[in-house]
Structure 1
Amino acid sequence: MTAESNSSHMSCDVYKDLEPFTYFYYLIFLVGFFGSCFALWAFTRKDNNQKCTSIYLINLLVADFLLTLALPFKIAVDLGVAPWRLKIFHCQVTACIIYINMYISIIFLGFVSMDRYLQTVESAKLYQIQKRGFAKMISTVVWALVLSIMVPNMLIPINDIPEREIVGCIDFKQKIGRDWHVLTNFISIAIFFNCSCIILISNCLMIKSLYKNKDCEEFENFKEALVKILLVTAGYIVCFLPYHIVRIPYTLSQNDVITDCNLKQTLFHAKETTLLLSVSNLCFDPILYYFFSKTFRSKIAKTFSIKKEVRSVNSGIAVCETAL
Structure 2
Amino acid sequence: MIITTMNGSCQNAGDLRMYQHNMYAVVYSVILVPGFVGNIVALWVFRVYIRETKKAVAFMMNLAVADLMQVLSLPLRIYYYLNNRWPFGHTLCMICFYLKYVNMYASIYFLVCVSVRRCELIMRPLRYNASRRKVDMVICALGWLLVCLTCLAFPLLRNADPDDDLVTSGISTAPPEADMVCFSELPMQMVSTSAAWVILIIAELLGFIIPFTLVLACTCLTAGSLRMKTTGAIHDQGEKRRALRMVLGCTIVFLVCFAPYHITMPLDFLAKANTLSSCTLRELILICHPVTLCLASLNCSLDPIMYYFTTKEFWRRLSKPEIPERVISSR
Give the TM-score normalised by the residue count of structure 2: 0.77
Deviation at 1:262, TM superposition (A): 2.2
- Pairs within 5 Å for 1:95-114: 95-114=97-116
Please give the per-residue CA displacement for 1:123-170, whole angstroms capped at 9, x wherever unaligned: 76x547981111111111111011011235447871223664385746
Q: 2:95 aligns with which of 79, 89, 93?
A: 93
Change (3 A) 1:224 1:84: closer
Larger radius of gyration: 1
**One-letter amino acid matched to 1:55:** A
Aligned length: 299
Structure 2 distance, partners of 1:28, 1:280, is 7
Q: 2:82 aligns with which of 65, 79, 82?
A: 79
Structure 2 distance, partners of 1:96, 1:264, is 24
Structure 2 distance, partners of 1:231, 1:78, is 31
Deviation at 1:109, TM superposition (A): 0.8
Change (3 A) 1:251 1:129: farther
Asked if 1 retains the 8 angstrom alpha-carbon contact of 2:106 and 2:143, the reply is yes
Structure 2 distance, partners of 1:213, 1:62, is 36
Structure 2 distance, partners of 1:238, 1:32, is 16
The residue aligned with 1:260 is: 278
Asked if 2 retains the 8 angstrom alpha-carbon contact of 1:73 and 1:90, the reply is no
Give the unaligned 5+ runs of structure 1.
Answer: 307-324
Structure 2 distance, partners of 1:281, 1:27, is 13
Asked if 1 retains the 8 angstrom alpha-carbon contact of 2:63 and 2:110, the reply is yes
Q: Once the two structures are aligned, what percentage of the paired residues are identical? A: 27
Structure 2 distance, partners of 1:134, 1:29, is 33
The residue aligned with 1:318 is: none
Q: Say if 2:61 is the partner of 1:58.
A: yes
Structure 2 distance, partners of 1:299, 1:23, is 33
User: Aligned Cα RMSD in Å?
Assistant: 3.5
Give the unaligned 5+ runs of structure 2.
Answer: 166-175, 324-331
Deviation at 1:195, TM superposition (A): 0.6
What is the DSSP-based 3-state SS (H/G/I as helix, E as strand, rest coil) of the residue aligned with 1:49?
A: coil
* Range with greater deviation from structure 2 (225-234 or 161-170): 161-170
- Pairs within 5 Å for 1:129-140: 131-140=132-141
Give the TM-score normalised by the residue count of structure 1: 0.78
Q: Say if 2:302 is the partner of 1:284.
A: yes
- Pairs within 5 Å for 1:129-168: 131-151=132-152, 153-154=154-155, 158-159=160-161, 160-161=163-164, 164-165=177-178, 167=181
Structure 1 distance, partners of 2:33, 2:287, is 23
**One-letter amino acid matched to 1:112:** V
Deviation at 1:42, TM superposition (A): 2.0
Q: 1:16 aligns with which of 11, 15, 18?
A: 18
Q: Say if 2:206 is the partner of 1:194.
A: no
Structure 2 distance, partners of 1:134, 1:289, is 22
Change (3 A) 1:98 1:210: same
